[in-house]
């Protein structure tokens, strides 16, 4: 299947950077193989599971492993699968061996269907269950769970079955480091909105004065000491990314 996919992609004029499939196991009990650990297997915009989730032995592990491969803050996981359904893996066997072989399907075909049915590990999923799986894997943003109006229809040896489909998605939340950077940038933006360049201090670095009183009583007027720490470290003074301040006058 993977070979045919890659051949079709190449024949369509797509490069390997645009479309390429590989075979690998990301959801087994053992850590993924080393050949799946390169940077090209991380920071995906989207990962999708189409009608295979109920076959997974360990859905929480699968969601966690796929979530790890997504971009922080923007990567999305999509799952298409079934709402809870009744499943009896022995029904096909009872159907075949309780009757003669005058049916249109062969004994071999019945064996194949029974084999496939025994790979079903979960009888569907609820919205609450999927949301919990997503949240536990750090996929905490923009959760949605939509039920499709038309059922999927399957012809099993024991008869025709209908199953209701859903499409669920969630976006990966920010990492701890992303949260820290957002907080720092927001703090600097807030400070920048209250101060303006006034003069240069003794070291030739800009000093800042408030555009207005911080608390309305004139009690706090500060200037940044950028030599203590600066955001990008580009002024060569060993900045750490955090600004420190000293008062221009005694605030009391």
| 143 and 194, same domain (yes or no) | no
195 versus 135: the higher-pLDDT residue is 135
Please tell me whether residues 219 and 143 are part of one structural domain.
Answer: no
Q: Are residues 66 and 149 in the same domain?
A: yes
Residue 88 resides in a domain: yes
The reply to whether 126 falls in a domain is yes
pLDDT at 125: 98
- The domain boundary, picked from 141, 157, 173, lies at 173
**Residue 18 located in a structural domain:** no
CATH number at residue 151: 3.40.50.150
pLDDT of amino acid 189: 76
Same-domain status, 55 and 169? yes
Query: Average model confidence (pLDDT) for the chain?
Result: 77
| 34 in a structural domain | no
Mean predicted confidence (pLDDT) in 76-91: 86
In a domain, 60, yes or no: yes
The parent domain of residue 127 ranges over 42-173
Domain boundary (173, 194, 227) is at: 173
Position 91 in a domain: yes
- The answer to whether residues 206 and 138 belong to one domain is no
The confidence score (pLDDT) of residue 190 equals 73
- Reported as a single tens digit per residue, the pLDDT across 103-120 is 444 445 455 555 567 899
Q: Say yes or no: 167 and 181 in one domain.
A: no
Same domain, yes or no: 50 and 128: yes
Give domain status of residue 5, yes or no. no
Over residues 72-81, the pLDDT tens digits come to: 999 999 999 9
Task: Examine the domain organization and report whether 163 and 215 are in the same domain.
Answer: no
Q: Which of 117, 140, 173 is the endpoint of a domain?
A: 173
Q: 214 and 95, same structural domain?
A: no
Are 195 and 181 in contact, with CB atoms under 8 Å apart? Answer: no
82 and 167 inside one domain: yes
Across the range 13-17, mean pLDDT stands at 93
188 and 227 in a single domain? The answer is: yes
Confidence (pLDDT) at 218: 52
Query: Which residue from 194, 192, 241 is spatially nearest to 220, judged by alpha carbons?
Result: 194
* Residue 32 domain-assigned (yes or no): no
**210 and 129 both lie in a single domain:** no
Who has greater pLDDT, 183 or 171? 171
Q: How many domains does the chain have?
A: 2
**What is the rounded average pLDDT of the residues 26-43?**
93
């Amino acid at each position: 299947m993977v070979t045919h996919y890659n051949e079709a992609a190449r024949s369509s004029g797509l490069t390997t950077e645009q479309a390429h499939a590989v075979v690998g196991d990301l959801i087994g009990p053992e850590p993924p193989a080393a050949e799946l650990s390169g940077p090209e297997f991380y920071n995906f915009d989207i990962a999708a599971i189409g009608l295979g989730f109920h076959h997974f032995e360990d859905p929480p592990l699968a969601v966690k492993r796929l979530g790890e491969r997504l971009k922080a803050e923007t990567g999305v996981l999509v799952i298409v699968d079934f709402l809870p359904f009744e499943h009896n893996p022995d029904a096909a066997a009872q159907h075949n061996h309780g009757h003669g072989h005058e049916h249109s399907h062969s004994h071999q075909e019945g064996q194949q269907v029974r084999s496939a049915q025994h790979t079903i590990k979960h009888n569907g999923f609820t919205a609450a269950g999927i949301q919990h799986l997503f949240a536990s894997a750090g996929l905490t943003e923009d959760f949605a769970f939509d039920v499709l109006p038309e059922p999927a229809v399957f012809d099993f040896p024991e008869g025709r079955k209908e199953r209701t489909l859903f499409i669920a998605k969630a976006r990966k939340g920010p990492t701890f480091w992303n949260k820290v950077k957002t907080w720092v940038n927001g703090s600097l933006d807030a400070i920048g909105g209250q101060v303006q360049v006034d003069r240069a201090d003794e070291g030739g670095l800009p000093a800042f004065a408030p555009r207005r009183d911080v608390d309305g009583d004139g009690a706090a007027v500060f200037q940044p000491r950028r030599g203590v720490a600066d955001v990008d470290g580009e002024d060569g003074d060993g900045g750490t990314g955090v600004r420190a301040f000293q008062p221009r006058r005694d605030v009391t």
